[in-house]
Amino acid sequence: MSELRRGPIAEKWVIIAPVRGKRPFDYDKERRESPISDPSTCPFCTGKEDLTPREIHRVDGPDGRWLIRVVTNKFPALQSYDDRGRQAVEGFFDRMNGVGAHEVIIESPNHNSRIPDLSVEHVRLILDTYVDRLRALMENPWHRYVLLFKNHGPEAGASLSHPHSQMIATPITPREVRDGLETARNYFERKERCIFCDILSGETRAGVRVVEQSNGYVVLAPYAARFPFELIVYPCEHSHDFTTISGEQRDGLAVTLKRTLGRLGALLGDIPYNFVLQTAPNPIPRVGKPGYWKTLQYDYHWRIEIIPRLTKVAGFEWGTGLYINPVPPEEAARRLREAEIKG
């Protein structure tokens, strides 16, 4: 039987339709292997440093060779301007310059490495780099929101197979982000509790959608999952800002992230996926809005969303905003709990 579910964060309805999972749909991991680009032409590989744009940040190993590099994106979505250039167009349209930043984090010198393949220590260095770059980008008051994301596989939007992630700083708080922030704030005003903490409390008691709870983190298949095997990684301890996590919390996240992506790989193979960090916007003073996001530290909770790209978003989804998910999240969580992972 199909059913509609609405999550409490985005307040969007999702259709859970197990019957559609019986269609001739291929989950076979051998046939889902992502193509690997030629390392000899990959600009992110060792020895090709002159092929990338300006290096912003790097992490070196004991031998002096780089382990992680951060460069500006060769084809940036947003970049630096002398002013925002915000203005009305034809009286009622708004425009502004493409103010912001677009950076690429090259996660390893090894062309074929994936996060599950890396050591926990190396994953921790990647997390340290995320924190450092998020902090640096938020020093610019024009950067109102910074999104960290990873596209793995061409179906997820990756143009290069070398392991990398990206950050884009925007001069606005995107509507979907803002809607989630406002939902969290309204919930806190009514109940004086964080909505995410309440979700964690209920989900960990129920257990049916919990994939793992360890190292200070909970991995959930969300109740209103939009996609098969969609997951969210939450810190157990309330925290609104990813950049404030301690060394111990980074260690725990390195283990959890490596294990979670390892579970997906063990069950489904090298599938395409998107990885998105949802964290608090830049808490800069806003002209005319002295109380803007003033309760963030109490009502918001950072998290990492992992979205496998096993189904296509087509006309129905675009036209209605409703997603059809053929795999109930309870089943997805059970299968992932049972997946055998390395290390």
Could you tell me where the DSSP H helices lie in the chain? 120-137, 175-191, 195-206, 247-268, 296-299, 315-320, 329-338
Catalytic residue (one of 111, 122, 164, 240): 164
Could you tell me where the DSSP H helices lie in 51-164? 120-137
Q: Which of 142, 129, 112 is nearest to 57 (CA)?
A: 129
Q: Which of 295, 226, 224, 307 is nearest to 271 (CA)?
A: 307
Q: How far is CA 143 from the centre of its chain?
A: 18
Strands ordered across the beta sheet of 3-6 = 3-6, 13-16, 323-325
Q: By CB neighbour count within 10 A (0-12 exposed, 13-18 middle, 19+ buried), where does 202 fall?
A: exposed
164 is catalytic: yes
Q: Which residues are catalytic?
A: 164
